[in-house]
Structure 1
Amino acid sequence: MIDCQMCSKWLDEPEMRVAELEHSYVLLNRDQFFPGYCFVFTKTHVTELFHLDQDTRAAIIEEVNAVAAALFAVFQPTKINYELLGNMVPHMHWHIVPRFTTDPLWPRPIWSDPHEPLMLSPDDYRFRIQAIAELLSRR
């Protein structure tokens, strides 16, 4: 789709790529204020779950679940948050966010207060991406 930042995100941010799954892409969020924060977004431009046929919808939910399970295994958070909004970027995408009781916004939503983005070194991004990708490759 023209002018959809999610449609081009996989090509625009190759250094953040975690995995290409059957129906979706997984990228590590550049801002790692919440360690492990990833995006899961559909390969095709779609805005609503009900726009998908039942089998595709179920498969995408399983992919989201696999990413959450991998994040849980790597980061051992207190909770995983799942955000599927699409108001600002109307392309189906989930924010999968490991949460810890020690994070400054706990237990509030990640959007409740602004924060300074936490940028990592290229090696630290690669380490996180590889750890998550390794678990996803076993699914």
Structure 2
Amino acid sequence: MNCPMCTRWQDEPELRVAELEHCYVQLNRDQFFPGYCLVFAKKHLTELFHLDPATRAGLMEEVNGVAAALAEVYRPSKMNYELLGNMVPHMHWHLVPRFIDDPLWPRPIWSEPHEEKTLNPSDYQEAAGRIRRALGL
């Protein structure tokens, strides 16, 4: 199996935010949308209905907790949640804080190309630390 999400935690340690019971949380390398994170299931799954009810509830609470932490840190106008899996068939959410003054507001983040915004390592660490603190970790 060649799944980029299954190895992402090991492959990109500089983007790590938190390891939770059911999922991993990492910053998206492209921070064009400040605070953009990926939350991905530890197990290789493709659908919520593949999980037993207790695990599904636990996973959704973790996604919700990350969204709340991002809202606390970034104070967005709206939090976008996206769970697709068409291109990468491993359950993962794109959590994207959105702001009324962002260049693509109110359109979807993929509505038009944008120049990728990468940060220096200390800025990724600082952002991850702020999110971890908001998570209570």
TM-score, with structure 1 as normaliser: 0.97
2:117 aligned with 1:118, yes or no? yes
Q: Could you report, residue by residue, the CA deviation over 1:20-57 in whole angstroms, capped at 9, with x for unpaired residues?
A: 00000000001000000000000000000011111111
TM-score, with structure 2 as normaliser: 0.98
Aligned ranges 1:3-82 → 2 under 5 Å: 3-82=2-81
Q: Which runs of 5+ in 1 are unaligned?
A: none
Q: For residue 55 of structure 1, give the secondary structure of its aligned residue in structure 2.
A: helix
Specify the code of the residue in structure 2 equivalent to 1:9.
R
Q: CA deviation at 1:5?
A: 0.5
- CA distance in 2: counterparts of 1:114 and 1:135, whole angstroms: 31
Q: For residue 82 of structure 2, give the secondary structure of its aligned residue in structure 1.
A: strand
Q: For residue 17 of structure 2, give the secondary structure of its aligned residue in structure 1.
A: strand
Moved over 6 A (4+): none
Partner residue in 2 for 1:84 = 83
Equivalenced residue count is 137
Q: CA deviation at 1:9?
A: 0.3
- CA distance in 1: counterparts of 2:95 and 2:51, whole angstroms: 20
Partner residue in 2 for 1:128 = 127
Specify the code of the residue in structure 1 equivalent to 2:65.
A
- CA distance in 1: counterparts of 2:76 and 2:17, whole angstroms: 19
